[in-house]
Amino acid sequence: MPAIPVTPRAPTSERNRSRTAAILALALSGAVLTVALLKGAFIAGGADSFGYVSQAELWARAELRVRQPFAWTVPWPSADWTWSPNGYRPAPDRNGDSVPVYAPGLPMVLAVLERIGGERAASLAVPSFGALTIWLTFVLGRRLTGDLTGLMAAALTASSPTFLYMVMSPMSDVPVTAWWLLALLCATAPSRVAAFAGGFAASLAVLTRPNLVFLGGVLGLYFAWIAARERSATGLAAQRLLLFAAPLVITGLGIALLFDYWYGSPFTSGYGSLDTLFAWSFARTNIGQYSRWFIETQTPFACLALAAPIVVRRSGHPSLPHGESGDGLAWLCLATAGGVVLSYLFYMPFDAWWYLRYVLPAFPLAFVLAASVVVVALEHFRPLLRHSVALTLTLALAAWCLTAAAERDTFQVGANERKYPRMARYITARLPERAVFLALQHGGSVRYYAHRLTLRYTLLDPDWLDRALAWLHEQEQPPYILLEDWEEAPFRQRFAAHSPLGRLDWPPMAELRTASGGHVRLYAPGDRLRFLRGESIVTERIQ
């Protein structure tokens, strides 16, 4: 009787270590999910979070515009812009409607979850994407040089201040990171199904953040390279290339049609034309700022990623297509991370550390590559010493990052965001339904939670402040001014020379103290004359 071939199995100790590593990676994913749910908040607050959450409601109702025909009944210039809250802009057909500024990927996911389980289900979206990001980082690291690499990279991603800051709010940075990680992992698996799944994940990533479409090109070149090595136009590699590209092409056409409907051109985004967003001169500022912020929050450890393709010379994981080597996967990860950075190198600069969020999709890749360099460097040590050194280094780096995160109020994001519904609840309870609020930071949240109209004062002609308020009174729409404390100086600078009301020289009718120690103040313009006549204006403290 012929012998039955037996597939060699890994030693029991190795299987146990692999199982333990997977359990630890799942624990890290669970920790991220827990922290995000406890310390974050699903709140339509500032421009970004309001833009995504409110757009989700539009998709849930199958309404892709905010209808407000009254915008053309007002007399001041750029009326359609003033009636568009932060996160929206006027529709191109100039009929008074507002359209979303932000890409539809995340809002569509939120809309589906909201239809299934309500707002509670939608609030789980970004934290769940965060947990998925940690697990996928582990899987990618394990595929490159083993479990130890995966664990190190997962821990460094989970403790990243930028990652933690963005997993706390309903914004697109963490979801797009998860989608691109999934696309890369599927692209480097050998089957046709995996190639199509990779293309589908990449298409969702592009739908979430269209300007990173170049990363689809990076993965497409990888497929093309494999196909060229196979030297067959109809072989498995060529088929996988077509299966990967198909969802991306379909999604690209869909985005073009949507952008044409929203913005009047398939080549214009909600942020404006490319020539206003990108410039060669921005590179110097971005290189300086991003480098400084990254080193301050992450240490220079990730710079080791640049050496990974040279250091990683061993065979990759058996699931790599056609026995692809580990250094080939390292080059792909490095090229993908480079594509992310290049996409924002010439983008309009910003002035806060958490704008590192733009290049967040590069973080897990950089951590995987840097960790692989360490693991390869330690491979000749005994297992106990190798794991001890890697663990010590990882804990030290994670401690540094968590300290940096705490110093930057990362774990206060949820508490700080609760000011938006608190102020909206006060407005709902105390002020007329037809009231109109001159606001910027709270312009979206007042619309979302209090269902009151808001006027974006930053786009109101300064000469029209008095006339605009008088017109609103005539329409029986009493106006109020709603400002964060940091908005008051710019408000005065914009309007004080044109109107006494621009001085904000009377007490607010209500004031809310935020978790960060700031204030939100609500001014009633009619109180100014009363105050100047000597009447007492009592400021109500909102609890």
User: What digits encode the pLDDT tens for the residues 197-210?
Assistant: 999 999 999 999 99
Same domain, 398 and 312: yes
Same domain, 163 and 132: yes
Q: Are 434 and 57 in contact (CB under 8 A)?
A: no
pLDDT of residue 15: 79
Which parts of the chain sit beneath pLDDT 70?
1-12, 314-326
- Cβ burial 34-51 (10 Å sphere, 16+ → b, else e): ebbbebbbbbbbbbbbbb
For residue 91, tell me if it sits in a domain: no
State the pairing for strand pair 510-513/479-484: unpaired
pLDDT of residue 11: 62
Same domain, 141 and 255: yes
Same domain, 474 and 395: no
Select from 348, 383, 409 the last residue of a domain.
409
Answer left, alpha or beta for residue 96, where phi above 0 means left and psi between -120 and 50 means alpha. Answer: left
For residue 486, tell me if it sits in a domain: yes
Q: Which domain holds residue 239?
A: 12-42+123-409
Same domain, 461 and 383: no
Same domain, 390 and 452: no
Same domain, 427 and 390: no
Q: Which has the closest alpha carbon to 194: 235, 243, 151, 129?
A: 243
Q: How many CB atoms lie within 10 A of CB 250?
A: 13
pLDDT of residue 316: 45
pLDDT of residue 358: 96
Same domain, 397 and 487: no
CA-to-CA dists, residue 49 to 273, 277, 358, 441, 516, angstroms: 23, 21, 15, 11, 18
pLDDT of residue 508: 97
pLDDT of residue 499: 96
Same domain, 145 and 212: yes
pLDDT of residue 9: 54
For residue 73, tell me if it sits in a domain: no
For residue 69, tell me if it sits in a domain: no
pLDDT of residue 232: 74
Residue written as token pair 């044409």: 260
At 129 the three-state DSSP class reads helix
pLDDT of residue 1: 34
Select from 409, 436, 468 the last residue of a domain.
409
The tally of domains found in the chain comes to 2
Q: The whole model's pTM is what?
A: 0.93
For residue 88, tell me if it sits in a domain: no
Same domain, 470 and 323: no
H-assigned helices in 188-235: 192-208, 214-230
Same domain, 339 and 462: no
